[in-house]
A and B are shown apart, each in its own frame.
Chain A
Amino acid sequence: MAKLYSESSPNKVKKMSPKKETVNFLLSYSKALHISTYKRMEFESFLN
């Protein structure tokens, strides 16, 4: 069988992903966001 000289293998391919800060921001945003409804109106509030 022919030798493979390339170093890359599927396991070594780096997956592209967003920065940790971005993900953390989204999780914090989600925790802080509170949506309340009054009759047909919606109110967004951010809780620290």
Chain B
Amino acid sequence: MNNVKANDAFLVKSYIEGNENSLSILIDRHQHRIYSFIFSKVYNKDIAEDIFQDTFIKVIRTLKRGKYSEEGKFLPWVMRIAHNLVIDHFRKNKRMPKFDNSGDFNIFSVLTDSSLDAEKQLIKDQIEADVQELIKELPEDQLEVLVMRIYKDMSFKEISERTGVSINTALGRMRYALINLRKVIEKHNLILTN
């Protein structure tokens, strides 16, 4: 045991003197114990990986700054750093608790995704394409008003100004456009619902 401690001390000294390979040996020697210790506290591989990394970043910076005093306790020192970082992790999570969705209450019962799923989106696209084909069968003046109103989102006032007819005429053309569109849909027995 003393031999291992002496070896650690020698490797730390060697690393501080610039031998990067010593760090590789130290990590290789102690990674299982340190990683297992962290994992036993956090029970999450990704978090354990992050804390392991942060632990050794602290170790590297402290050693390179010459702030480490060698007392033959390299591993306990690294474990202490890891322990402190685990505590930091839990403190941080306490301030920003994560919802793990493991209880009776299901968070997804109140959080819903209002966007359409792939199938419904396909159906919607198909219906819109069909409607665009259908409106081509309308008389030109009705088609013009319908396109301006529905696709260009123009007001009837704007439509009347653009087409040079009164608002009432524009309203009438829109009404007939919808009536004729329904007739075409019924004639072809089309079902345009999502």
Chain A residues packing against B (C-beta within 8 Å): 15-19, 22-23, 25-27, 29-31, 33-35, 42, 44
User: Interface on chain A toward B: helix, strand, loop, or mixed SS?
Assistant: mixed
Q: CA A42 – CA B66 in complex, angstroms?
A: 11
- Enumerate 8 A-B pairs (CB-CB under 8 Å) in ascending A order: A16-B39, A18-B31, A18-B35, A18-B52, A22-B53, A26-B27, A29-B57, A30-B64
The answer to whether A17 and B31 have CB atoms under 8 Å apart is yes
The answer to whether B31 and A23 have CB atoms under 8 Å apart is yes
B23 at the interface (CB under 8 A from A): yes
Nearest Cβ in chain A — how far from B162, in angstroms? 62
Q: CA A33 – CA B36 in complex, angstroms?
A: 27
Q: B20, B35, B60, B64: which contacts A16 (Cβ < 8 A)?
A: B35
Interface residues of B in 20-71 (CB under 8 A from A): 20, 23-24, 27-28, 31-32, 35-36, 39, 48-49, 52-53, 56-57, 60-61, 64-65
The answer to whether B23 and A27 have CB atoms under 8 Å apart is yes
The answer to whether A31 and B57 have CB atoms under 8 Å apart is no
Chain A residues contacting B56 (CB-CB under 8 Å) are 26
Nearest Cβ in chain B — how far from A11, in angstroms? 14
Q: CA A24 – CA B99 in complex, angstroms?
A: 33
- The verdict on A33 contacting B27 (CB below 8 Å), with A16-B35, A18-B35, A22-B49 known, is no
Q: A18, A30, A31, A42: which contacts B49 (Cβ < 8 A)?
A: A18
The answer to whether A16 and B65 have CB atoms under 8 Å apart is no
Q: CA A31 – CA B60 in complex, angstroms?
A: 10
Q: A16, A27, A33: which contacts B61 (Cβ < 8 A)?
A: A33
Chain B residues contacting A18 (CB-CB under 8 Å) are 31, 35, 48-49, 52-53
The answer to whether B35 and A17 have CB atoms under 8 Å apart is yes
Nearest Cβ in chain B — how far from A40, in angstroms? 13
Q: CA A29 – CA B48 in complex, angstroms?
A: 19
Q: B36, B48, B60, B64: which contacts A15 (Cβ < 8 A)?
A: B36
Chain A residues contacting B49 (CB-CB under 8 Å) are 18-19, 22
